[in-house]
Structure formats: C-alpha cells, structure tokens
Structure 1
Amino acid sequence: MSVAEPRRIVLFRHAKADWPPVTDHERPLAERGRMDAPVAGRKLADTGIHLDLALCSTATRTRETWKLAVHELPERPKTVYEERIYEASPGELIALLNETSDDAQNVVLIGHNPGIHGLAEILAGPDESDARRRMARRGFPAAAFTVLAFDGSWKSLEPGVATLLDYWAPSE
C-alpha cells in the first residue's frame, strides 16, 4: 500500500460497563453496553472503511465490546489484544500506534477514557470541523468512536498531524 493514501485511525471507546464486585480490568458490559456495541459496529460499517487491524485492550469490557461490534462489519480485521492499551495515556497510545506495520492502512483502537478521548483531541490538533464540535459538545461517552486520517507512515504519527473526519456517539 502506498503511504500517499491517507491512513485511517478509528478510536473506539468500550461500551457501557457494569460495576460488579470484580477488579476494574475484569468489569463486563452492562445491559446497555451489550445493546450499544452492535449499534456502534453498524455505524462503523456505515463509514465504509476497510479495517486492516484492530488493537483492543485486554480488559473484559473492551473485548466484549469488540466481539459484539465486529460482527456488524463486512469483514473482520486481524485483532490483536494489547495489554498496554488499558489505562494508557494519549502519549502511550501514540507510541503503540507508531509500532504498527505500514502494511496496515486502517486501524481501529478499542480502549478506554480518558486516553481515547485525549488521543482524538491531540491527534486532530486545533480542528474546527463539525465532527470536532460534536465531540466537544458530547464528550466521548461509552461506545463512541472517532475517525481520523493522516498522511505518512505509522512511525510519523504525532500530535496535530491528523484530521478528524467523523464522530459518532450513541443517543442517551
């Protein structure tokens, strides 16, 4: 694939989680999350982006979100469960994405707030798009996602180089 084609990054926050007496890492999805995750998957399919790679946190709620959402996509991308996504800062997420092979044109990262929301803001820089205004108004609730594009290799991904193309969040 040519690096002349813009790369796409989908930043996808896990769906609504429950609060049973387990460790935070093991929290499962709540009933609302089990309903919203497939809807988010359908909305992601509607973007028309062919995802080459999914990087998913090892937390139970992110794995469950991805399992429900991916069934709505026309093709299942290669999925890598990555421990470093759990509780990662935006900088740590950029470092992880910098390791991505340039064979992957479009990547979805399924993770947690505040890292996912912060990463969307940092990568897009001072963007004034409609998607950015909607994200600023709604925040980054459970099951929300953004689509960003940038030119270059994954190693060149850094703050401010991406354009925020789309933002979706479930209705409350």
Structure 2
Amino acid sequence: MTAVPPRRIVVLRHAKADWPAVADHDRPLAERGRREAPAAGQWLAGAGIVPDLTLCSTAARTRETWKLVAHELPRRPKKTLYEDRLYEASTGELIALINQAPEEVHDLMLVGHNPGVQGLTELLAGSSEGDTLAQVRRGFPTAAVAVLSVDGPWKSVEPGSARLVSFAAPDSV
C-alpha cells in the first residue's frame, strides 16, 4: 500500500485594496497591493506550490490579486473558480467550501478576505510548525499566505484537523 501524501490548503488574503468611491465588492488594488501580490506569487513559486484548484472570491481586489499571483507561478494553475460564497464568508462557510473540493485535488487555494481567512487558519490549525500559529494570531496582513497540511479526504476537514506548516506576510515574502 502506498502512503498518500498530505493535501495542502493554501489560504491567501487579497493584497492591499484602494478605497475609491465604489461599492466594497468593486474595490481595486492599491499601488501597494500591486507590489505585494507578485511577491506572494514568488513566495508560492519558491515553496513549490501551484494549486490544483483555486477558489477565488468574486470581489475585484481578490480577482486582481489572484491574477498577479498566478502570473508568478512556474506553470499555469490547473483550475480557478470564482466563488461568490467566499465574499464575506464565515469560517464555517469556508470549511464547507473545502469539504466540497473534488477528491482529485491535492493543493487547494482559497483567495479571500479577513476576518475569514485568519479565522479559518486559526480554526483549522490543530498544530503548527515553529511559531507560525503565533504569527497568524498576531495578524493576517494583506497578501499574506498560510499553508496548512491535512490528511484524509476533503470532506473530513474540520476544526483542528490541519497542521499549519508555513505562514508568509508581505514583509517576509
């Protein structure tokens, strides 16, 4: 019997957004965000992470972040779905989306918003490498990336079932 490698959940908060006089859902990235997002993509590339499936919020700032991140990866990500349910999602809603991921997916990325992405990372992390969980608890800045490792099928992901293996924020990417 061959051991199945752990799956990965990659949680990415959108890069820094601008505050023009538009609806929140339509806010674009600020100049700082346009610098942060490629750096996050370069960090992912350096970590050898190219998601099999990316679930991205439909908000303008998340779509723009994902486009800039994906451009930095060594190969085109397999599939991206723009998901309305990621916008203003609770941690429970985010876990429900993870539980619905197809079983053939090994690396699943969520591109979303705070407080959901930080709450999800903290809730799933039953353990962590080094001080990564403490870093997340101090804050999940724009363009930050958390990588969690999970064993078993997606439908079994629940609070405390993952290991937080890395966390990178813009100043460290």
> What amino acid sits opposite 1:79 in the alignment?
T
| Sequence identity percentage | 61
> What amino acid sits opposite 1:94 in the alignment?
I
Q: Does 1:20 align with 2:20?
A: yes
Q: CA deviation at 1:131?
A: 1.3
Distance in 1, matches of 2:135 and 2:83, equals 29
Q: Does 1:7 align with 2:7?
A: yes
Q: Does 1:75 align with 2:69?
A: no
Cα RMSD between the aligned structures? Answer: 1.6
Residue number in structure 2 paired with 1:93: 94
CA contact (8 A) 1:3 1:151 kept: no
> What amino acid sits opposite 1:53 in the alignment?
L
**TM-score, structure 2 as length reference:** 0.93
Q: CA deviation at 1:134?
A: 2.3
Q: Does 1:30 align with 2:42?
A: no
CA contact (8 A) 1:8 1:150 kept: yes
Distance in 2, matches of 1:80 and 1:127, equals 28
Residue number in structure 2 paired with 1:65: 65
Q: CA deviation at 1:5?
A: 1.5
Q: CA deviation at 1:165?
A: 0.2
Structure 1: stretches of 5+ with no match in the other structure: none
Paired positions, count: 170
CA contact (8 A) 1:3 1:152 kept: no
> What amino acid sits opposite 1:85 in the alignment?
L
**TM-score, structure 1 as length reference:** 0.94
> What amino acid sits opposite 1:8 in the alignment?
R
Secondary structure of the residue aligned to 1:32 is: helix
CA contact (8 A) 1:38 1:69 kept: yes
> What amino acid sits opposite 1:131 in the alignment?
T
> What amino acid sits opposite 2:17 in the alignment?
A
CA contact (8 A) 2:127 2:162 kept: no
Distance in 1, matches of 2:23 and 2:31, equals 19
Distance in 2, matches of 1:127 and 1:32, equals 30
Residue number in structure 1 paired with 2:117: 116
Distance in 1, matches of 2:112 and 2:135, equals 20
Q: Which moved more, 1:109-118 or 1:40-49?
A: 40-49
> What amino acid sits opposite 2:134 in the alignment?
R
> What amino acid sits opposite 2:99 in the alignment?
N
CA contact (8 A) 2:129 2:163 kept: no
Note the alpha carbon deviations across 1:62-107, whole angstroms, 9 max, x for none: 0000000101111222111000000000110000111100010001
